[in-house]
Amino acid sequence: MGLLSSGTPLTWIESRKYNDYVRENGLKQLLYVFKFCSRRTGDPLYWGDEIEYLLCQLNDGTKEACLTLNHDSVIDDLNGKYNKECEDLNLKFHPEYGRYMVESTPRRPYFDLNVGETEQNMAMRRRLLSKLLENSGVLPLSMAVFPRMGCEGFTNLQNPWSHKNCISRSLYLPDEIINRHARFPTLTANIRIRRGEKVCINVPMYCDTNTPAVDDTVYQRTWFDREDRESIVASKPGNIYMDSMGFGMGCSCLQETFSAPNVDAARYLYDGLVNIAPIMLAVSASSPFFKGWLAEWDVRWNIIANAVDDRTPFERGEEPLTNSVYGGIAKEKKAKTQRIQKSRYSVTDLYLGGNRFFKREMNDAPVAINEDAYAMMVDNDIFKMDEDLARHFAHLFVRDPLVIYNESLEQDNLTQTDHFENIQSTNWQTLRFKPPVQSATPENTSAVGWRVEFRPLEVQLTDFENAAFATFLYLIVKCLLVFSDDINPYVPISKVWENMDTAHVRDSVLKCDFHWKRSFSADSDYTTALYNLDDIFHNPQSGIFPTFIDRILRHEGYVARTWKELKHSKNEDGNCKRLYYYLKLVSDRAKGSLPTTARYMRDVVLNHPDYQKDSRITKKMNYDIMRLAQRLTNLDDTYNDVTQFLGSELGTYVINHAL
């Protein structure tokens, strides 16, 4: 969601003169956080999740499905007249980029592991949201991507092109899809203007017998002289072409945030999850289609990365698409202007270090650094930061602030962090290291402390699946924190970057190898070998289950040896058996014995009677996909959908033990 301040956002041209001011004061705010909070310790492991829903309408008469753009007021209702009910149920709802999106979280974080609590909370969120929308026929679906996003009739707008979409200037997305809060349209326009071009997203197209050689939805429009001419040049043969922030930030995901006992533990936890991130992205894959086409990618991540890439052609090391780049923004080559390797939405770029296992050479990939910011952090009168942590923040601060509010320019750096968050919250990496605010001193235990956010997980269709992935990651986090003295998690960061690209490949779970450690022991070296996902999760030397899951379950007294013992536990409340099936879901997906959501949904398209082997998703096919998603979400097995999707054993358990 990002930083939702109130006020008057400045356009990019208006805000540019304040960029250095915001950066300088943001760094001072950060340094005061470290001055006041760096000695804080002893915080327990609190955690929480974020799930995003798409609000969909299905028309049984026309056999069509669309995203609704006029039911976003449900968020105001949930935070207004239903606020007491939400508070009692521990629920909270937030706006997201799309007007058709709702983000949900627990209002108060979970403490440690209470098996089923997360799933119950997720189920209550969906039920309450569904209840408020039921008279309108709107369905909240936790689906990563709407299959026909950007195609004709994908929203319920009657005349979407009756006026120009001046904010995004997209060929496909009307501006009405963007959330009404001023942050979101400003963010969209400022990214486009700073870049000097529309954003450009090319996704490899799934190639079937009749698949066209090019995306034939790309056309020449005459609304905006420069941007409309860009699309023909920007689109690549064999790729699905998209041209707006909404194609990325309009996707849904599952995210988790974990507190750590102190800043050093938070740094170690962040580093320990770095190479877990692309692995979890691959095994949770649920995005096989974009803009009405089947894709060769299974996940959404790089679509979002390209959708918010505000780098100029010079910063990207490319030539402008046209010769009419305006404002001098895309061509400027000031002394301090650097080549920047990746979008501000990317795989994690640097380890934080600060522990005995870290070696600086593990940060072996090229990363741009704001040298002025780095110098200020390592040598100042407020708080002297160590070199590795300073390098992390100096990398974040190569970016410009994207949305500056006129009313928020003047801030008290001793008590406010909005200038810091302006930069921090628009660096969207697979992990986010989250400092507290200045009031989170060692004495003020009521204030939230040091946290790590895990961002790459693809959202799943059912609350059971989302809870399973959330719980699985929690167990890894708990293991890292408990055994931080003897788990060495480091691999070269360049290998992590490669893993992130591999995670996008269609059916990477089945056919790709990833860089992974041979051992996580304290005396292990830093080399990697190539393993498939089954090995990464299950091999006895360094698999995730033996190394992290079994170890923490033994430590917590759940099992004597391995997680599979949970199935036969005598635990009377059934929590151990539920935990077993959570872990079985992840295990079976990693083995390939259970298809990922992406694989399952792609097969649904390929086997649809209307499919013409041309990689296209028609309106009728889209409708059927969304009806299937609804049945799976509701655990409706009338047509054996659930037991086919989750397998007979797991599907039967989930149906018979729904929360």
Q: Residues 274, 357: contact at Cβ < 8 Å?
A: no
Say what the pLDDT of residue 618 is: 98
The pLDDT confidence band at residue 7, using thresholds 50, 70 and 90, is confident
| Predicted confidence (pLDDT) per residue in 143-189, tens digit | 999 999 999 999 999 999 999 999 999 999 999 999 999 999 999 99
Residues in the chain, total: 659
Answer yes or no: is 49 within a domain: no
Answer yes or no: is 361 within a domain: no
pLDDT higher than 60, residue 325: no
Q: Which residue has the tokens 């999760």?
A: 537
Say what the pLDDT of residue 615 is: 98
Number of structural domains (the chain) is 1
Answer yes or no: is 543 within a domain: yes
CA distance 282 to 499: 9
Say what the pLDDT of residue 142 is: 98
pLDDT higher than 50, residue 488: yes
pLDDT higher than 60, residue 330: no
Q: Please state the rounded mean pLDDT for residues 192-216.
A: 97
Q: Residues 329, 312: contact at Cβ < 8 Å?
A: yes
Alpha helices in 351-462 (DSSP H): 371-378, 387-396, 418-424
Say what the pLDDT of residue 326 is: 44
> Phi and psi dihedrals of 521, rounded to 5?
-65, 160
Mean pLDDT of the chain: 96
> Phi and psi dihedrals of 650, rounded to 5?
-70, -45
The DSSP secondary-structure symbol of 616 reads B
Alpha helices in 221-360 (DSSP H): 225-234, 246-249, 263-273, 276-283, 301-307, 313-316
Answer yes or no: is 278 within a domain: no
Say what the pLDDT of residue 337 is: 77
Q: Please state the rounded mean pLDDT for residues 193-216.
A: 97
pLDDT higher than 90, residue 654: yes
CA distance 644 to 169: 42
Q: Please state the rounded mean pLDDT for residues 298-321.
A: 95
pLDDT higher than 70, residue 588: yes
Say what the pLDDT of residue 328 is: 40
Say what the pLDDT of residue 550 is: 98
Say what the pLDDT of residue 571 is: 78
pLDDT higher than 80, residue 427: yes
Say what the pLDDT of residue 493 is: 98
**Among 180, 176, 177, CA closest to 163:** 176
pLDDT higher than 80, residue 535: yes
| Predicted confidence (pLDDT) per residue in 209-258, tens digit | 999 999 999 999 999 999 999 999 999 999 999 999 999 999 999 999 99
pLDDT higher than 60, residue 322: yes
Q: Please state the rounded mean pLDDT for residues 605-618.
A: 98
**Among 432, 448, 418, 370, CA closest to 30:** 418
Q: Please state the rounded mean pLDDT for residues 71-95.
A: 97
Say what the pLDDT of residue 436 is: 98
Answer yes or no: is 557 within a domain: yes
Least confident residue range of 9-18, 329-338, 448-457: 329-338
| Torsion region of 25: left, alpha or beta (phi above 0 gives left; psi -120 to 50 gives alpha) | alpha
Say what the pLDDT of residue 1 is: 53
pLDDT higher than 70, residue 5: no
Answer yes or no: is 553 within a domain: yes
DSSP for 144-173, please give it: S--TTTTSTTSBS-SSTTSS--TTT--SS-
Say what the pLDDT of residue 3 is: 56
Say what the pLDDT of residue 2 is: 56
pLDDT higher than 90, residue 462: yes
Instruction: Give the chain's count of helices (H) and strands (E).
Output: 26, 17
Answer yes or no: is 499 within a domain: yes
Say what the pLDDT of residue 146 is: 98
pLDDT higher than 70, residue 336: no
The pLDDT confidence band at residue 334, using thresholds 50, 70 and 90, is low
The pair of structure tokens assigned to 431 is: 């992990």
- Its domain, for residue 567, covers 482-656
CA distance 411 to 3: 15
pLDDT higher than 80, residue 6: no
Answer yes or no: is 524 within a domain: yes
CATH of the domain at 533: 1.10.150.710
CA distance 215 to 235: 8
